[in-house]
Amino acid sequence: MITLDRVAARRSPMTLSDLSAQWGPGVHSIVGAPADGAALLFGLVCGASSPRSGQVRVLDGSPTDASVRRRVARIDFDPSLPEPLRVAEALSLAAKIRGDAGLEIGGRLAILGVETLAARFVRSLSLAEARAVCAAEALTSPGVRAIVVLEPLVAMDPRAARRIGDAMRSAARAGKCVLVASSSLRDAAELADDHALLQSGRIVARSSSIEALYGVSGQGVRLRVFARDDDGARTLAAGLAGIAELTSLERSGTSVRLRGASATALAEAVAHAAVASDVEVIEMRVEPIAAKQALAAEGGP
Amino acid sequence: MPPRRPRTFAFGVRLAQSGGLVGLGLGVAGILAVASIAAALALRGDPLVNQVPSLACQALAWGAGITVAFGAARRAASRDRDEGFFALARCRGVTPYAYVEARVVGLAALVAVAVGGGTALAGAAAALSSPSAGVFRATGGALAYALVFSATISPVAFASLAAGSTVTGYLALASLLVLPELASPWTSALLPAGWHELTSVPAALDAIRTGAGWHAARALAGLTALAAASLAILMGRTSSEPDP
């Protein structure tokens, strides 16, 4: 359904180089920090950006072709809904453009538990609510065959966040290709069946197990751990100091950044330190290290 | 079945309906239609009833139709971009050209309903009041006037008013529709004898209404050229819009 063949593209500050991948029906994740190029990759898939070289094929056609673009839905942080309309009107208009006839708006929103938003004006929605509406539109449109979602569990209405995983799997069972980009390994593991690790514009590893992606780059991995408050982060950092698996440790506000060879080992160390020092960890996320940073850290050019 | 392109007609009509001036124009169209029907019924048996469809279509076009077109096209490009309509369409596969087409066709359809609908009602009332070949001929000409007016005014209004300020847009529209008509006594002298229909849009529409052979054909060609030039301007502007 989505094929990238030796694709190179650039949109400052992101660059993709020599990217080859293929995704069929199912839920697939791309794990990487925003600067690694997931948004640019999605722009290529949606036909909003063009590759400098290589070929992008979506649904057996060019992603810039109008008939292909109609069947691709994109959910990012800038929801494409007209502000003067009510949610129901906006969805109705979107359905007319996509050629989806006879869909009941309440039922479409109910798939993510946000049917109460139908009568609200789009301009009154929060970002999280607007993203939930866009997700419901994408996931329930019969014409849509490929869906790309940027950080599905970030800035997402809590009602929708609880249901979006099931909704995406349901879409995948219906033969759709759902591509998820996340900088959180936890989110990727929760939502997708297989994963690709994107680092500095290259897919450096693919696996159906998120565990297998830890440390595969050879550049190590950086883990960011969020505590509930500054004191918690300070205590956690103190508890982690001296752990053999760590190559670096820094604290900033409520978060602690760790670096080491294996994400699993780092996560275990965090768990031990959190239990030992009675600190509540809110979230842990992997932040892949860019090649230049890794080289610099290793004393390279 | 080959994959379909996005459907944009309903989108265009929906956007054309937004704005207070559009509502006012449609209201004026309703009032003028009722007045035309009343006039047709009041002139039962009077030869003047033949004039009712023609007068109705001109009043509807230059009273209601122009108001609807002005209201729908005024700053349409920036409004669509700022309010998210452009992004809604582009993110669902509507190309910049299809977007322009949707906006123009949507407005033309709305103006055709306002002007052509009222004209049809006036013609029907006149035919019921005094059925004659003259009334039917006048109604046919008036309907042709209404339809060609709708197809012409829509791209011209968008090309004049969609970008830039309301004042400059209004002046541009007036310079296309009013100034040539005011200057026609002089400009007609520059044209071959009997080619008066090419002096202005109202003159061309009158030639189509009266349906006089080559005059109507030349008028239609002139209006088509004007609409095509307006569309080319719109396409050029819209294709430079960044992809959302």
CA distance A187 to A180: 9
Give the highest mean pLDDT range of A211-215, B3-7, B74-78: B74-78
* Shared-domain flag, residues A267 and A119: no
B189, pLDDT greater than 70: yes
The pLDDT of A80-96, averaged and rounded, is 90
A299, pLDDT greater than 70: no
What's the Cα-to-Cα distance from A114 to each of A125, A152, A160, A165, rounded to whole Å?
12, 15, 7, 15
* Residue contact A66–B98, C-beta within 8 A: yes
* Shared-domain flag, residues A114 and A260: no
The pLDDT of B180-202, averaged and rounded, is 86
* Residue contact B93–A81, C-beta within 8 A: no
pLDDT at B165: 81
pLDDT at B5: 64
Chain B residue whose CA is closest to A65: B93
B93 touches chain A (CB under 8 A): yes
Nearest to residue A289, comparing CAs of A256, A245, A257?
A257
The pLDDT of B232-243, averaged and rounded, is 80
pLDDT at A32: 82
* Shared-domain flag, residues A247 and A206: no
B88 touches chain A (CB under 8 A): yes
CA distance B201 to A150: 51
Two tokens, residue A252? 């900033």
pLDDT at A294: 39
Q: Which residue has the tokens 């040539």?
A: B180
Residues contacting B203, CB < 8 A, separation 6+: B181, B184, B196, B197, B219
* Shared-domain flag, residues A152 and A195: yes
Pairing of strands A194-199, A177-182: unpaired
Asked which of A22-26, A103-107, B89-93, B210-214 is least confident by mean pLDDT, the reply is: B210-214
B239 touches chain A (CB under 8 A): no
* Shared-domain flag, residues A103 and A139: yes
Residues contacting B194, CB < 8 A, separation 6+: B215
Share of chain B above pLDDT 90, in %: 44
pTM for the whole thing? 0.75
pLDDT at A292: 40
Chain A residues with CB-CB distance to B84 below 8 A: 80-83, 122
Chain B residue whose CA is closest to A90: B88
The pLDDT of B100-118, averaged and rounded, is 94
pLDDT at B4: 62
* Shared-domain flag, residues A155 and A230: no
Q: Which residue has the tokens 């946000």?
A: A114
* Shared-domain flag, residues A109 and A230: no
* Residue contact A80–B98, C-beta within 8 A: no
pLDDT at B213: 82
Task: Please report the residues numbered 34 through 73 in chain B whose beta carbons come closer than 8 angstroms to any beta carbon of chain A.
Answer: none
Asked which of A23-27, A103-107, A287-291 is least confident by mean pLDDT, the reply is: A287-291
The pLDDT of B99-117, averaged and rounded, is 93
B49: distance to nearest CA of chain A, Å? 44
* Shared-domain flag, residues A148 and A246: no
pLDDT at A220: 66
pLDDT at A79: 82
CA distance A94 to A298: 51
Chain A residues with CB-CB distance to B85 below 8 A: 82
Residues contacting B228, CB < 8 A, separation 6+: none
* Shared-domain flag, residues A76 and A180: yes
CA-based end-to-end distance of chain B = 29
Asked which of A64-78, A282-296, B63-77 is least confident by mean pLDDT, the reply is: A282-296
Q: Which of A169, A191, A210 is the last residue of a domain?
A: A210
B179, pLDDT greater than 80: yes
* Shared-domain flag, residues A148 and A273: no
B93, pLDDT greater than 90: no
B143, pLDDT greater than 90: yes
* Residue contact B83–A97, C-beta within 8 A: no
* Residue contact B87–A80, C-beta within 8 A: yes
Q: Whole domain around residue A86: which residue ranges?
A: 2-210
CA distance A144 to A103: 14
Asked which of A169-173, A238-242, B71-75 is least confident by mean pLDDT, the reply is: A238-242
A44: distance to nearest CA of chain B, Å? 12
Please give the residue that has the higher pLDDT: either A288 or A135: A135
Chain B residues with CB-CB distance to A90 below 8 A: 88
Q: Is A50 exposed, middle or buried (0-12, 13-18, 19+ CB in 10 A)?
A: middle
The pLDDT of B130-139, averaged and rounded, is 88
B92: distance to nearest CA of chain A, Å? 5
CATH number for A176:
3.40.50.300
A287: distance to nearest CA of chain B, Å? 28
Answer whether A91's CB lies under 8 Å from A97's CB: no
Question: By three-state DSSP, how is residue A195 classified?
Answer: strand
Q: What is the pLDDT confidence band of residue A300, given thresholds at 50, 70 and 90?
A: very low
* Closest partner CB to A74 (pick from B5, B10, B91): B91
* Shared-domain flag, residues A230 and A157: no
Q: What is the pLDDT confidence band of residue A288, given thresholds at 50, 70 and 90?
A: low
CATH number for A279:
3.30.70.100
pLDDT at A170: 93
Which of A268-273's residues contact partners 24+ apart within 8 Å by CB, and which partners?
A269/A240, A269/A243, A269/A245, A270/A223, A270/A225, A270/A236, A270/A240, A273/A236, A273/A239, A273/A240, A273/A243
CA-based end-to-end distance of chain A = 40
* Closest partner CB to B243 (pick from A48, A73, A93): A48
- Say whether the ipTM exceeds 0.85: no
Two tokens, residue B63? 């009273």
A298, pLDDT greater than 60: no
Q: What is the pLDDT confidence band of residue A259, given thresholds at 50, 70 and 90?
A: confident
What residues does A178 pair with on adjacent strands? A27, A147
Q: Which of A210, A228, A248 is the last residue of a domain?
A: A210
Residues contacting B52, CB < 8 A, separation 6+: B36, B39, B40, B43, B122, B123, B125, B126, B138
pLDDT at B125: 92
What residues does A205 pair with on adjacent strands? A197
CA distance B187 to B191: 7
The pLDDT of A170-196, averaged and rounded, is 89
* Shared-domain flag, residues A163 and A31: yes
B52, pLDDT greater than 70: yes
* Residue contact A84–B89, C-beta within 8 A: no
Please give the residue that has the higher pLDDT: either A76 or B104: B104
pLDDT averaged over every residue in chain A: 84
Q: Which of A175, A210, A245 is the last residue of a domain?
A: A210
The pLDDT of A52-69, averaged and rounded, is 88
Please give the residue that has the higher pLDDT: either A75 or B244: A75
Asked, as a colleague might, if the bond just before A13 is cis with ω within 30 of 0, I would say yes
Select the residue from B17, B79, B88, B92 to test the A interface by mutation, using most A Cβ atoms within 10 A: B92
pLDDT averaged over every residue in chain B: 88
B98, pLDDT greater than 60: yes
* A122, HSE (Cβ side, Cα atoms, 13 Å): 24
Pairing of strands A53-58, A72-75: unpaired
Nearest to residue B142, comparing CAs of B60, B224, B46?
B60
Number of domains making up chain A: 2
* Residue contact A66–B88, C-beta within 8 A: no
Question: By three-state DSSP, how is residue B238 classified?
Answer: helix
B144, pLDDT greater than 90: yes
CA distance A248 to A218: 16
